[in-house]
Structure 1
C-alpha cells in the first residue's frame, strides 16, 4: 500500500484497529459494573479500588508491561495456570496484547463512566422504582440513556488510548510482524532505520486521529446556551 507515493505496510494498521476495537468492547462490558459500584458504594476500601483503577495513569508503561510479562509468561502464575488448562501461550501473542491493553486503558473507560453515574439525578431512578422496575430495567431504561455522554467519552478515550500504546504492548507482545507489531512500534522501527518518510505517514495519521478524537469528546461537551 502506498500513501503519497510512500510504501506503507497495512498490517500494523489492521492489528492496531483490531486491538483497539476488542479492548474497547471488553472495557465497556467489564468497566460498567465496576464504575457503577465505585459511583454508588460507600465502603471504606472504595478509595483503594479507585486508586488501583487509576494506577496506569501514573505508572510507567514499561513497569506495568514488565509485571504483566512476568505474570502471564510460561513460568508466571497466570500464564502457567492458563497453559496447564490447555490454553495457548499468552505472551507475545495478540491475546497478550489485549490483556495488556485492557489493564493499561482501564481508567480511560472506568473514570468517565463513574463520573457519569455519579451525576445521575435521583428522581428518575426513584420514579422507575415506584413503577415497579427492577434493577436491570432501571439500568437499561434510565441509567444508560442518561449516561450516554459518559459512554461516548469512555469509548473514544479507551479506543484512542489503545491505538497509541507503546511500552506495554512492546513488553508483553514484542515486535512480531503480522501478529503483534502495532502502529506505535512500526513508527519506532522506521525511525530506528532512518525511514522518516514512512514514520511521517504513520505519525501524521495518528496525530490526525488523536485530534479528531479530542474534538469529538470536547465538542460534544459544549451545550449551546438558551437565551433568556
Structure 2
C-alpha cells in the first residue's frame, strides 16, 4: 500500500472536515429556520454536488482556479506559485465537493428540534447567535457526529475532482484513490487489492457508525418527548411558544406557576431573572 498517499488523504480529510463543520453550522441553521422563499434555491445549490458528475465540478474548478482566472492571477501575485495542481487546490475542491455531506445531516438535525425551545430563548431576549450555540448546537450532537463521519469518509474516497484539479503528483496531490488507479494501470493488482480492501473495511465501519448514531438520536428524541407530558392545566414544562402567542403563553405560565417551579427551563433563563420574569408576566396579564 502507498502509505504516503494514505497519509495525504487523511490530512486532506481532516482539514476538509474541520472547515466544513465551521461553514455548515451557520448555513444549515439559516436553511432550517429561515422563512424566506428563496432558501430552496440555496439548498439546491448546496446539494448540487450530490448529482453533478465529479468531472464537471472539477472542470469548472480548474477553469476558476487556473492561472488565467482572477482567482488564479491573484494567488500567483500573492504567493508566486500557481494554485492548481497543489494541495491547496485539492482542499478547495474537497470542501466544495463534500459540502452537502456536512450540511444535510445538520439541516435534518436542526429541523427536527422542538421549535418551542428556540422560541423560548427568543422570548427571553437571547440573540440568534447565542440561541444557536447554547440551545441548538448542544441538542444536535448526533447531527454533528454524522456530518463529521460522512464528510471525512467522502473526502477519503474522492477521485474525479481531485484528479482534475490536483493532478497526480506523488507526495503533493496523489490521494489514495488515485494510488489505486495507478496500481491498476501498472497491473499491480496485489497492491490495488490490499488498498481497496482497506477502503472497503473503512467504508463499512463508516456506514455502521452513521446508522448507529442515527438510531441513537431517534431514541433520544422519543425519550425527550416522553419526558415532557402535558399537565392538567394544559401547559408543559417545555419552553414558551412563538412570540406571536407570547401573551397567551404568559397567561398560562401565571396560572400554573403555583404547580411548577417555572414555565421555562432553568438553562434558558438569565441569571437572577426568575422573579423579574414573573413580574413581567403579571404586568402583561
Check conservation: 2:146, 2:213, Cα contact below 8 A. no
Please tell me whether residue 139 in structure 1 is matched to residue 132 in structure 2.
yes
Task: Using the TM superposition, give the Cα deviation of residue 87 of structure 1 relative to its aligned residue in structure 2, in angstroms.
Answer: 6.1
Residue of structure 2 equivalent to 1:108: 101
Pick aligned residue for 1:173 from 120, 145, 166: 166
**Structure 2 counterparts to residues 82-161 of structure 1, below 5 A:** 82-86=75-79, 88-161=81-154
Counterpart CA distance in 2 for 1:45 and 1:136 is 22
Counterpart CA distance in 2 for 1:42 and 1:146 is 21
Please tell me whether residue 81 in structure 1 is matched to residue 65 in structure 2.
no
Please tell me whether residue 199 in structure 1 is matched to residue 187 in structure 2.
no
Residue of structure 1 equivalent to 2:182: 189
- Per the normalisation by structure 2, the TM-score is 0.73
Please tell me whether residue 220 in structure 1 is matched to residue 206 in structure 2.
no
Counterpart CA distance in 2 for 1:37 and 1:88 is 37
Higher RCO by CA contacts (8 Å cutoff, separation 6 or greater): 1
Question: How many residue pairs were aligned?
Answer: 220
Residue of structure 2 equivalent to 1:15: 8
Q: Which consecutive segments of 4 or more residues in structure 1 shift more than 4 A?
A: 223-226
Deviates more, 1:25-34 or 1:76-85: 76-85
Task: Using the TM superposition, give the Cα deviation of residue 139 of structure 1 relative to its aligned residue in structure 2, in angstroms.
Answer: 1.7
Counterpart CA distance in 2 for 1:130 and 1:152 is 30
Counterpart CA distance in 2 for 1:93 and 1:71 is 14
Counterpart CA distance in 1 for 2:215 and 2:154 is 22
Unmatched tracts of structure 2, length 5 or more: 224-285
Residue of structure 1 equivalent to 2:262: none
Counterpart CA distance in 2 for 1:87 and 1:112 is 39
Counterpart CA distance in 1 for 2:105 and 2:120 is 25
Counterpart CA distance in 2 for 1:54 and 1:34 is 12
Does the residue aligned with 2:215 lie in a helix, a strand or coil? coil
Residue of structure 2 equivalent to 1:3: none
Does the residue aligned with 1:147 lie in a helix, a strand or coil? helix
Task: Using the TM superposition, give the Cα deviation of residue 122 of structure 1 relative to its aligned residue in structure 2, in angstroms.
Answer: 1.7
Q: Provide Cα deviations, 1:111-169, integer angstroms capped at 9, x if missing partner.
A: 11111111111222233334443333322221111111111111011110000000000
Counterpart CA distance in 1 for 2:215 and 2:108 is 17
Counterpart CA distance in 2 for 1:13 and 1:34 is 31
Residue of structure 1 equivalent to 2:240: none
Counterpart CA distance in 2 for 1:138 and 1:34 is 15
Unmatched tracts of structure 1, length 5 or more: 1-7
**Larger-gyration structure (1/2):** 2
Does the residue aligned with 1:221 lie in a helix, a strand or coil? helix
Aligned Cα RMSD in Å? 1.8
